[in-house]
Amino acid sequence: MTNEILLIDDEKDIRFAVSTILKEKNFIVREADTVEKALFEINKKMPDLVLLDVLLDEKNRDGIDVLKYIKKIDPYVPVIMISGHANIKIAVDSIKLGAFEFLEKPFNKDRLINFVLRGVEISLLKKENIQIKKNTFISNELIGSSTIVNKLRNLIDKFANSDSRIFINGPAGSGKELISRLIHEKSLRKINSFKVINGALLDPDTFEFELFGSETDDKIITGILEKSNNSTLLLDNVSDIPLQTQAKILRVLTDQKFHRTKGVDEISVNIRLISSTSKNLEEEVKNGNFREDLFHRINVIPVTTPFLKDIKEDIPLLIDYFNNKISEINGVKNININKKNNAFYDYDWPGNVRELRNLIERVVILASGKEEEIDKIISESLKISTVKQYNTDDNFQFPLKEAREKFEKNYLQIQLNRHNGNISKTADFIGMERSALHRKLKSLGIN
């Protein structure tokens, strides 16, 4: 799809020169030389980007007035202000009003193209994000009134506007990415899009390419670090990042600079880093799987997300929230879910809030609205989950001794995961001496 640019300038020579440059890059260029014509073109069809001269033909209206008008109609359209009579105040005022960049005449051709390409890219990303959010349910609220959730909410408000690095630890499905997004949305960096890279999903052989990008004679590919400049980057599952890459990330955090793969020039970045994992990172350091110096660099402000089983008083609020959001997205009426159903509170929720959200979505999509049908879906879903959790190996096909051993191994692995690998907490929970648990784990071959 070819991008469309509206060029607004009262100087014919400037319009010709800029238009020629942009058409060489395959942009469609529309032109206007007065405020009146500019407003006409904007109302006819909003372009993908606007190049706007500050001083136009009218005494009472100028480019700043056009900028305000554009931002009122569509705040996501990037506007690059241009002027041959600029001063610092005009530039600052333009940026405050939402201008993407400010160019002084005469401007460098490469600089112009760079600004336009970046502006169009950011505009498209923002529009794509808006469309995705319209069609996909992404939770963007911290729901709950429990003491734990209220403390978490207060913490987010307290450090959102700092640039300190944050380390979020908690079980899978407990909202680590949600917390990261909330921190970003409450920060001054929210004007730029939030970025995520998942250490568990990337091939170790291509991880550095994804982080740093690459550079050849004829092509530059930007990595996630470069795309996160002046924004917030979440390193999700940071514990799974390869050791050799950890050293390079440490250098970036120290210098705020890096080289693209096969690149020569240093790239400077200003990134608010948030890291997260479900593993016990201190244990990973002891086991040699994670660099201790990097751990101390990312662990400036530690945050812990709770197990759902520890905030069961928030389940009714979560049910209502998911019910409303999922019903709205799917264009159906709210399902009348009995929030006092004992199944919600007897269950241990190994998948945490994410598992509850998936269950409510299943109910909203599958249930016809009858109470018996809703309760059946809930009870069967939780029953199936429980059976899968403790019976993944179909123990009934083995002799008693072997089946018991398999059950114990599965059970202890689940309990260790629930307690983030903490032996003392696991031993207390299952009612064993710490030394006895160590011996049992060793005998079962559990590391």
Tens-place pLDDT, residues 231-243 = 999 999 999 998 8
202-209 mean pLDDT? 79
For residue 110, give both structure tokens: 């490469």
Listed residue (223, 233, 313, 226) closest to 275, CA to CA: 233
Phi/psi region, residue 213 (left: phi>0; alpha: psi -120 to 50; beta: rest), is left
**Pairing mode of beta strands 166-169, 272-277:** parallel
**pLDDT over 90 (residue 310):** yes
**pLDDT over 80 (residue 123):** no
Contacts of 98 (CB under 8 A, 6+ apart): 67, 71, 75, 79
Could you give the domains of the chain?
4-133 (3.40.50.2300), 147-304 (3.40.50.300), 308-390 (1.10.8.60), 395-444 (1.10.10.60)
Tens-place pLDDT, residues 250-288 = 999 999 999 998 888 899 999 999 999 999 999 999 999
Whole-angstrom Cα distance, residue 92 to residue 99? 9
**pLDDT over 70 (residue 339):** yes
**What pLDDT score does 323 carry?**
92
Whole-angstrom Cα distance, residue 305 to residue 139? 15
For residue 408, give both structure tokens: 């114990």
Residue that the structure tokens 């690095």 belong to: 165
Tens-place pLDDT, residues 148-192 = 999 999 999 999 989 999 999 999 899 999 999 999 999 999 988
Q: Phi and psi dihedrals of 207, rounded to 5? A: -60, -45
Q: Where are the alpha helices (DSSP H) in 25-144?
A: 35-44, 63-73, 88-96, 109-135
For residue 442, give both structure tokens: 């060793």
**pLDDT over 60 (residue 136):** no
Q: What is the pTM of this model?
A: 0.59
Sign of CA dihedral 427, 432, 434, 439: negative
CB half-sphere exposure, 5, CA atoms < 13 A: 28
CB 50 within 8 A of CB 8: yes
**pLDDT over 70 (residue 1):** no
Q: 175: which DSSP letter?
A: S
Query: Over the range 410-440, which residues count as b (16 or more CB within 10 Å of their CB) and which as e?
Result: bebeeebebbbbebeebbeeeebeeeebeeb
User: What one-character-per-residue DSSP string does 397-447 give?
Assistant: GS-HHHHHHHHHHHHHHHHHHHTTT-HHHHHHHHT--HHHHHHHHHHHT--
Pick the residue with more confidence: 59 or 174? 174
**pLDDT over 90 (residue 8):** yes
Q: Which amino acid is at 206?
A: T
User: What one-character-per-residue DSSP string does 317-383 give?
Assistant: HHHHHHHHHHHHHHT-PPP---TT-HHHHHS--TTHHHHHHHHHHHHHHH--S-HHHHHHHHHHHHH
CB 46 within 8 A of CB 76: no
Whole-angstrom Cα distance, residue 224 to residue 208? 10
Mean pLDDT in the chain? 85
**What pLDDT score does 294 carry?**
96
**What pLDDT score does 393 carry?**
44
**pLDDT over 60 (residue 137):** no
The proportion of the chain whose per-residue pLDDT surpasses 70, expressed as a percent, equals 90
**What pLDDT score does 131 carry?**
57
**What pLDDT score does 418 carry?**
66
**What pLDDT score does 422 carry?**
80
**pLDDT over 80 (residue 33):** yes
User: Among 17-21, 140-144, 167-171, whose mean pLDDT is lowest?
Assistant: 140-144
User: Residue 164: is it exposed, middle or buried by C-beta count within 10 angstroms (0-12/13-18/19+)?
Assistant: exposed
